[in-house]
Amino acid sequence: MKVGVPKEIKPQEYRVGLAPAAVRALTTRGHQVLVEVGAGAAIGFDDAAYRTAGAQVLDSPGAVFDEAELIVKVKEPQPPERARLRPDHTLFSYLHLAPDVAQTRDLLASGACCIAYETVTDAAGHLPLLAPMSEVAGRLAVQAGAHCLEMAQGGRGVLLGGVPGVAPARVVVIGAGVVGRNALAMAVGLGADVTVLDRDLAVLRRLDERLGNRIHTLAASEQNLEEAVLAADLVIGAVLIPGARAPRLIGRNLVARMRRGAVLVDVAIDQGGCFETSRPTTHEAPTFVVDGVVHYCVTNMPGAVAATATQALGNATLPFVLALADKGVPRALREDPHLLEGLAVARGRICRPEVAAAQGADWVPALEVLDAP
């Protein structure tokens, strides 16, 4: 199979779909890998490394899309990339379609088979291709939040871990999934006063057993959420409904009552955000202020540590890329129900009910689309 790796064009996105080691794994199996010039240069994967791994380095994104059958990316395709997709293409990437009507419309029009990393599952029902970036984003959320608390960034001027004689910052993590657990680990490690809220009491019990009195656990009732947020210096939104739009947990009225200079970090922004006042930002201009509260809503947080993130993502995606290339896309999808869960759009039809529900559209089960004449 011809596997294409274009250079990411989303602003400040330096990750790359396949590292040279992954390219070698494909080429040694007889597949042809086409990499855009400079695709990994920003993180130390130069064109020579890709050539040594057996790739052909092409001089433009158009050349990669023209020749490739399987396109492996990191972030959702931007408008110029979507315009290059064809019915004979398979796109394997993060998509986050539920809140993104324009992208969904373009992918449907392309006729391409589009598989979303974020809804591929494993035997335990987890999300193995979302997990590594959630781990990165959870840890980054605390770093970013600590920076935003500095006076120069508009924050309250509070040091996350405090100092002897001065209390640490109060950090509230909403959601105890992969993002939340990694945010907890960082915040606890830095000495913050940490509270985590989740609806699942079993999850909170496991956290209590592991971290004990180093954290406070609260059931995610409306009252508990409100009281925790109003007392917080830093709030990290780490909620996820797989494939669906993130629920809005903090409304504008609650934001207006928060401490001046408090910080909201919305890790759910890729799925539409979990704070009513959130809007997407970039690494170049990562924050904005609403009612005196600093908002950090970067849609590609792991891109800030692109070298680490590329390797972590590649470790997870490579077995699926190999399956798609070795077996061909239809067979790989039919034989692996977990990979099939990632099929978001194919042959001009939506295959995920969460996307359809978010956009008021119709959907068709993935196998029906694959089996259609």
Active site residues: 96, 270
Three-state DSSP class for 93? strand
Q: Give the separation between CA 336 and CA 345, rounded to whole angstroms.
A: 17
Q: Give the separation between CA 102 and CA 125, rounded to whole angstroms.
A: 29
Q: Give the separation between CA 226 and CA 231, rounded to whole angstroms.
A: 9
Nearest to 117 by CA among 317, 328, 323, 327: 317
Q: Give the separation between CA 20 and CA 40, rounded to whole angstroms.
A: 9
Give the Cβ contact number of residue 180 at 10 Å.
26
The 8-class DSSP code of residue 295 comes to E
Q: Give the separation between CA 307 and CA 10, rounded to whole angstroms.
A: 16
In the structure encoding, which two tokens stand for residue 247, read together? 């629920």
Give the Cβ contact number of residue 30 at 10 Å.
9
Give the Cβ contact number of residue 346 at 10 Å.
25
Is residue 267 a contact partner of residue 138, using CB atoms and an 8 Å limit? yes
For 307-330, give the DSSP string: HHHHHHHHHHHHHHHHHHHHH-HH
